[in-house]
Amino acid sequence: MAGVSLKCGDCGALLKSVEEAQEHAELTSHSNFSESTEAVLNLICTICSKPCRSKTESDLHTKRTGHTEFVDKTSEAAKPISLEVPKATDESQEVVDASGSSSQPQEMIAPEVDKKLLEELEAMGFPTARATRALHYSGNTSLEAAVNWVVEHENDSDIDEMPLVPVNTKVEAPKPSLTPEEMKIKAQELRERARKKKEEEDKRMEREKEKERIRVGKELLEAKRIEEENERKRILALRRAEKEEEQRAREKIRQKLEEDKAERRRKLGLPPEDPAAVKPSASVVQEKKTFLPVKPVTKVEQMRECLRSLKQNHKDEDAKVKRAFHTLLTYIGNVAKNPDEEKFRKIRLTNPSFQERVGGLKGGIEFLELCGFEKIEGGEFLFLPRDKVEMAVLNSAGSELNSAIVNPFFGVL
């Protein structure tokens, strides 16, 4: 097969003609050329008509522009290469073809481009051939398109060659460039369009944010309502439990009074009281109990009442009250665990820590006295004698203190 290209032995580049080989040698100083049966690729971009001489060029063009569709016209352009440099002949000389008939060679000229755009490109420093080539292949539309084309094709080997087109090729008239006034008007229109689009986008985003804000607000209100409802139910349950506890305590007191009364009648030798006869007086007693509180009788009830009074006397100082309860629980617990240790059964009243935690609060010392502590040495100490240590009383005191600590509504009613 006849050679259809010249291959550079130094870099492997394929060249279409002797002229290209000479230019390549001048640019690179390579001199090792040989004929090759491998044709120089002629890949034409279907979008911008950019010719690519190799797969590397087409890949680079795709990377720069995103164009991926190419038409392979290699077979149309491939023809046996002539190793002789063509001699210059008169344009009017006839060329005889293989069949013996004569034909006039087709005349090639530079394409017509927008002169104003060409002058602007030349003023920017581009050579005339490169500027003409850029305007021709970019569609001769605008200065920006031509500059972009130059940037994309600056590595092309023929970037500075003047493009040629046949004389009889119909060249579309270049689109007239806009005047400065028209350019200003068009730019203003584009800015106005962009502004309106941005305003519409901002309004849409604002509507979305408002919808989200309303949705979140509703969810928060609903969560708050549910939390308040649960809290209300919890408070009602605690108050109901407190009332039931007080009712049970009152019932125990009433039973105790009835038992004591019956015992006194028995000791005096009186007959048992007729329930029907005491019914009216019972209603009176019940009415009095509604308005006059019944004083605690048992020591446990006295302890509970003492703690309740302590909390009510210092209802605005919850932290101090809770600390006093914990301190009292510590004193009682130490005595219960170590009843033989005198240091746990003796408290100095003038101790600053004791005064701050218990002694300074009304009801604190009274509670210890209910547990068996006594003032000695002129009221300087609280002392619990060993023979007066009653574990049942200490355990009851601990239970009442625990109840007062864990019940948040203790002493509220």
- DSSP-derived 3-state class of residue 109: strand
User: In angstroms, what is the C-alpha Rg of the chain?
Assistant: 56
* Euclidean distance between CA atoms 369 and 392, whole angstroms: 15
What are the φ and ψ backbone dihedral angles of 35, each rounded to 5 degrees?
A: -70, 150
Across the strands, what pairs with 36?
Answer: 5
pLDDT at 171: 46
* Euclidean distance between CA atoms 321 and 360, whole angstroms: 11
Which part of the chain is CATH 1.10.8.10? Answer: 107-177
Angle at which helices 143-152 and 115-123 pack, to 10 degrees?
60
DSSP 268: H
Q: Which two tokens stand for residue 296?
A: 């605690």
pLDDT at 144: 82
- Summarised one tens digit per residue, pLDDT across range 87-129 is 444 443 444 443 444 445 567 788 888 888 888 888 888 888 8
Strands 95-96 and 70-72: unpaired
pLDDT at 222: 93
Which part of the chain is CATH 1.20.58.2190? Answer: 299-413
CA distances from 89 to 92, 113, 152, 293, 352 (A): 8, 29, 37, 138, 126
Across the strands, what pairs with 72?
Answer: 43
pLDDT at 190: 73
Q: Provide the residue type at 273 as one letter.
A: E
Q: Please identify every stretch of the chain with a pLDDT value under 50, giving residue numbers as ranges.
A: 1, 85, 87-103, 170-171, 173-174, 280-292, 294
Q: Provide the residue type at 276 as one letter.
A: A
Give the angle subtended at the CA of 127 by the CAs of 121 and 133, to the nearest 5°. 75
* Euclidean distance between CA atoms 130 and 153, whole angstroms: 10
Match domain 107-177 to its CATH number in 3.40.50.300, 2.60.40.10, 1.10.760.10, 1.10.8.10.
1.10.8.10
Sequential DSSP letters for 129-159: HHHHHHHHHTTS--HHHHHHHHHHTTT-TTT
* Euclidean distance between CA atoms 68 and 48, whole angstroms: 11
Q: Which two tokens stand for residue 100?
A: 């013996």
Contact predicate 384/372, CB 8 Å: yes
Q: Which helix (H) or strand (E) holds 45?
A: strand 43-45
* Euclidean distance between CA atoms 50 and 42, whole angstroms: 10
Sequential DSSP letters for 169-217: S--PPPPPPPPHHHHHHHHHHHHHHHHHHHHHHHHHHHHHHHHHHHHHH
Q: How far apart are the first and last CA of the chain?
A: 115
* Euclidean distance between CA atoms 179 and 116, whole angstroms: 11
61, 51, 59, 53: which is closest to 14 by C-alpha?
53
274, 275, 272: which is closest to 264 by C-alpha?
272
**Ramachandran bin of 49, using left for φ above 0, alpha for ψ from -120 to 50, beta for the remaining angles:** left
* Euclidean distance between CA atoms 164 and 383, whole angstroms: 122
* Euclidean distance between CA atoms 370 and 310, whole angstroms: 14
Q: Which two tokens stand for residue 125?
A: 């420093």
Contacts 24+ apart (CB under 8 A), 244-252: 246/413, 249/301, 250/289, 250/294
**Within the chain, how many helices (H) and strands (E) appear?**
14, 13
pLDDT at 319: 86
Contact predicate 67/126, CB 8 Å: no
Q: What CATH number labels 299-413?
A: 1.20.58.2190
pLDDT at 33: 78
- Summarised one tens digit per residue, pLDDT across range 235-250 is 999 889 888 988 999 9
Contact predicate 6/14, CB 8 Å: yes
pLDDT at 329: 92
